[in-house]
Amino acid sequence: MSVKEKFQKFLEERLPVQAFKDLSSHKMVPEHKQAFWYYFGGITLFFFIILVFTGMVLLFQYQPGLESSHASVLRIVTKVDFGWLIRSIHSWGANLMLAAAFIHMFSVYFMKAYQKPRELTWLTGLGLLGLGMGLGFTGYSLVWDDMAFFATKIGIDMMEGIPGGEYIADIIRGGPEMGGLTIQRMFALHVVILPWIFIGLLGAHLFFLQIHGNKIPEGIEKSGEYRKVPFFPNFIFSDLYVWLICLNLLAVLAAMYPWHIGAEADPLAPSPKGIKPEWYFMAMFQLLKLMPAHVAGMSGELFGNMLFGAAAMFWAAVPVWNPAGTVGRRAKLATYVGLLGLMFIIGFTIWGYTAHPV
Amino acid sequence: MNYPQWIIEGVGGPGIIGIIAVSHVFISQFAVGGGLFLPITEYLARRNNDPEMLEYLHTHTRFFTILTSVVGAMFGVGIWFAIGLVHPDATAFLIRNFVLAWTIEWVWFFLEILSLIVYYYGWKTLSPRTHMMVGWVYMFTAIMTLVTINGILCFMLTPGDWIQNQSFWSAMFNPTYWPSLLMRFLVCLALAGLYGLITAARMSTANGLRTRMLQYSARWFIPTFVFMLFAMGWYMLMLPEETRNMLFSGMSGFARGNFAILTRISMLTILFTATMGFMIFFGAYANPEEFGGGKIAFLMISALFVTGAGEWTREVLRKPYVIHSVMYSNALLAADAKDMETAERPFLPRIEWRKDGESDGQAMFRTQCRSCHTLDGYRPLREFLKGRDEKSILSLLKIMRPGEKNPYRNIMPPTVGTDTELAMLARYLTSEVSSAK
């Protein structure tokens, strides 16, 4: 037995790589003209990994606190070597992750990959998107500049519009007003609580994906215009290829368009002109802005929030009202609902940005 | 200032030169890399008695010949056209000093094209031995074009001892000559493999040749992936210290500005080179079955970015000169600027060519600002001077006079002329700024 073989045997006895390799080469992934959309789940995961690492690096410098939050971010972006870059990668990465997650969700929806037996994959995915938005919201506030402060304030105030929301808002704020405790709690949510839940849910999501595999769209499956390629190396290497493209895209954005930081938040100052939330809350924000003061005997804000809650539940329940095997008008209805949802998000986001220019 | 200039709004003169030059480099360095790729691949195919590989190479040669000898040459002429019109003084200066080098370059280039044409058209008619011989001639002449032009390009950034001894050989073999040659040679190899991937990916998957040629072409990237960082480091060490420092000026701080962007572009160049190596491994080498159009497109975009970024970095590192320490980017000679530092000599009489009806202020503007600035496009003067009145513009122009007190001395050429002349320039600039739409 050669030294190389001995070494491989030594490794194999302790870490059975070959077994994993065999398993992954037997696992097959469909390849067809719409297979491009499969990559967006992996892209979302890639950006999440980037966020974990850059977040850990930022923790070495960031100091949560009323006096220190803004000052430490300012120091990171002006004094620390490559600090601006790490923060910029973290901020751009978060936005790209959410963009990829939205694309992933809609592609899954239109491929009807939520149908039996993939209902749990769908629900855990939606949970991850919600947590991702929560991470975005809490992270945005940690900079404690004027825009972040007032956008966070508006976000928390919006929570008060839902039944029992005032208690949640109070817990997040650490009292009736935003202050040092708000930063402390946002920080705890952002770096510990939400990431741990996210990782757990991500594990479940990937587990369900491994069990059920990728869904082949019905039309393609019927026509037989697809082939199956091994997960390893074909799919995983293609996935890595796409990750490298995403890394380049992220690097260009982070390096050439470094993330902005505004003046330190002043709670006593009037809110700056053009105050608005991050783009992924913009459609919701714009709809609430359009609500009249009172609708159907309740406040417009409450009505808007209830509308959102109902729409989100309806969206999440799509495996129930459009189960596998549905054909005809009912099957088409799900596609129309998806298109309506997509148009609402894009349309209201653009409307929000044009209605509230900086 | 001795010749008429081509004034271009929008992307500006440097932008036009940049677009043409990067396109040319992207193809001409492939031509040099291909100079190795074609005969070496043919040699291997003949040695292994592999007619399929030879057939692939024949197809690749057709693509190669059309791209390099037609498109590449067209961009080459385009560079001469653009630099001659946008920066006639610098072009004239380089021709005067490098007439011998350029003559040699054109001889190599003529032989390169000739041997390539014989190589392509002789595939079916020449004996294998003669055809190989023509291939080796092509390889040699293609490399020699790089060996020659590299000296002139490097001279513009690091003229080295030429400043003291004015020797042609000092100019050619200047401090960055060898590291730059190594870097460009590595880029040539990578591009040879990269373009090889394009033709290989288009082949039929039937007989396994596609996979073989994809993996073969991918291997051409290995020297670049292994040695490029070392070559970049060597190149950096050979730069003057103040130029080297410019590369690090954007490490901390996120402010905008050319030098901060210089650091960022350099970092991106390194990252893109590294990721291209992994892309070629995960794409063409380890997963050839799934390697196709979309993946090639991203590879080509990355390669084009690296080429453009590398050339742009070299250009910006020269700032504020077009020929380092010799001629400023507005054609003012460094020696003349030194002369104008103490004695307030008039500048207007130095302008040999004047446009019909051109005012003195406009002539000052054309000769001292227009090589780099546009009004509203690239490096827009109207935006830079917005909010300043005539007095404020004049004081800015005076601050920028030659000498150690000029805070912009490492960024921009100094302004020269008497107080009256600068006042004319300030008045003209004010009128341009106030006429903004």
Confidence (pLDDT) at B192: 96
Share of chain A above pLDDT 70, in %: 100
Confidence (pLDDT) at A328: 82
Q: What is the CATH number of the domain that holds B340?
A: 1.10.760.10
Closest Cβ opposite residue B264 in set A31, A79, A255: A255
The Cα of B342 is separated from the nearest Cα of chain A by a number of Å equal to 39
Is B282 close to A256, i.e. CB distance below 8 A?
no
Would you place residue B5 in the very low, low, confident or very high pLDDT band (cuts 50, 70, 90)?
Answer: confident
A255 vs B: CB within 8 A? yes
**B321 vs A311: CA distance, rounded Å:** 62
pLDDT tens digits, residue range B114-161? 999 999 999 999 999 999 999 999 999 999 999 999 999 999 999 999
pLDDT at A358 over 70: no
| Range A155-166 average pLDDT | 84
Share of chain B above pLDDT 90, in %: 73
Same domain membership, residue B215 and residue B124: yes
Quick check: is B298 in a domain?
yes
- Chain centroid, CA A42 distance in Å: 12
> A78: nearest CA in chain B?
B253
Quick check: is B292 in a domain?
yes
Which one, of B240, B422, B396, lies nearest residue B340 by Cα? B422
Mean of pLDDT over chain B: 92
First to last CA, chain A: 71
Quick check: is B415 in a domain?
yes
Residue where a domain terminates, one of B295, B328, B361: B328
Closest Cβ opposite residue B290 in set A77, A234, A258: A234
Please provide the DSSP assignment of A213-258 as one string: -PPPPHHHHHHT--EEEEIIIIIHHHHHHHHHHHHHHHHHHHHHSP
Chain A residues in contact with B282 (beta carbon < 8 A): 237-238, 240-241, 244
Confidence (pLDDT) at B236: 94
Same domain membership, residue B294 and residue B150: yes
| Range B310-314 average pLDDT | 89
Residue where a domain terminates, one of B312, B328, B344: B328
Would you place residue B190 in the very low, low, confident or very high pLDDT band (cuts 50, 70, 90)?
Answer: very high
pLDDT tens digits, residue range A265-282? 988 888 777 788 889 999
**DSSP class of A36:** G
Would you place residue A172 in the very low, low, confident or very high pLDDT band (cuts 50, 70, 90)?
Answer: very high
Confidence (pLDDT) at B258: 57
**A305 vs A163: CA distance, rounded Å:** 10
Share of chain A above pLDDT 90, in %: 68
Range name among A2-6, A245-249, B279-283 with the lowest pLDDT average: A2-6
Confidence (pLDDT) at A164: 84
Same domain membership, residue B253 and residue B391: no
**Residues in chain A, how many?**
358
Confidence (pLDDT) at B207: 77
Same domain membership, residue B375 and residue B253: no
Spell out the domains of chain A, with CATH numbers in brackets: 16-267 (1.20.810.10)
Is A238 close to B290, i.e. CB distance below 8 A?
yes
Confidence (pLDDT) at B211: 94
First to last CA, chain B: 29
Complex confidence, ipTM? 0.87
| Range B400-420 average pLDDT | 89
The total number of structural domains that make up chain B: 2
Quick check: is B6 in a domain?
no
Same domain membership, residue B357 and residue B317: no
Range name among A187-196, A286-295, A331-340, B108-117 with the lowest pLDDT average: A286-295
Range name among A333-342, B245-254, B340-349, B371-380 with the lowest pLDDT average: B245-254
User: Domain limits at B66?
Assistant: 12-328
Same domain membership, residue B403 and residue B260: no
Q: Does residue A139 contact residue A155 with C-beta atoms inside 8 Å?
A: no
- Chain centroid, CA A64 distance in Å: 23
| Range A247-258 average pLDDT | 95
pLDDT at B343 over 70: no
Q: What is the CATH number of the domain that holds B161?
A: 1.20.1630
Would you place residue B99 in the very low, low, confident or very high pLDDT band (cuts 50, 70, 90)?
Answer: very high
Closest Cβ opposite residue A79 in set B252, B264, B286: B252
Quick check: is B196 in a domain?
yes
Residue where a domain terminates, one of B297, B328, B359: B328
| Range A190-202 average pLDDT | 97
Is A237 close to B282, i.e. CB distance below 8 A?
yes
The Cα of A250 is separated from the nearest Cα of chain B by a number of Å equal to 11
Same domain membership, residue B371 and residue B306: no
Would you place residue A260 in the very low, low, confident or very high pLDDT band (cuts 50, 70, 90)?
Answer: confident
Is A81 close to B282, i.e. CB distance below 8 A?
no
Same domain membership, residue B341 and residue B315: no
Is A244 close to B278, i.e. CB distance below 8 A?
yes
Is A81 close to B272, i.e. CB distance below 8 A?
no
Is B268 close to A79, i.e. CB distance below 8 A?
no
The Cα of A85 is separated from the nearest Cα of chain B by a number of Å equal to 8
Confidence (pLDDT) at B253: 65
Range name among A1-10, A19-28, B105-114, B419-428 with the lowest pLDDT average: A19-28
Quick check: is B1 in a domain?
no
Would you place residue A331 in the very low, low, confident or very high pLDDT band (cuts 50, 70, 90)?
Answer: confident
**A4 vs A7: CA distance, rounded Å:** 5
> Which residues of B lie closer than 8 Å to A, measured between beta carbons?
251-254, 261, 264-265, 267-268, 271-272, 275, 278-279, 282-283, 286-287, 289-290, 295, 298, 302
A10 vs B: CB within 8 A? no
Mean of pLDDT over chain A: 92
Chain B residues in contact with A241 (beta carbon < 8 A): 279, 282-283, 287, 295
Confidence (pLDDT) at B191: 95
Same domain membership, residue B368 and residue B318: no
Would you place residue B257 in the very low, low, confident or very high pLDDT band (cuts 50, 70, 90)?
Answer: low
Is B279 close to A238, i.e. CB distance below 8 A?
no
Chain B residues in contact with A237 (beta carbon < 8 A): 282-283, 286-287, 290
Range name among A223-232, B253-262, B273-282 with the lowest pLDDT average: B253-262
- The residue of B287, B295, B299, B301 whose CB has the most chain A CBs within 10 angstroms, and thus the best one to mutate to test that interface, is B287
Confidence (pLDDT) at B14: 87
Same domain membership, residue B302 and residue B340: no
Confidence (pLDDT) at B10: 87
> B266: nearest CA in chain A?
A255
pLDDT tens digits, residue range B193-211? 999 999 999 998 877 899 9
Same domain membership, residue B427 and residue B300: no
A79 vs B: CB within 8 A? yes
Same domain membership, residue B321 and residue B404: no
Q: At what angle do helices A194-212 and A39-59 cross, to 10 degrees?
A: 160
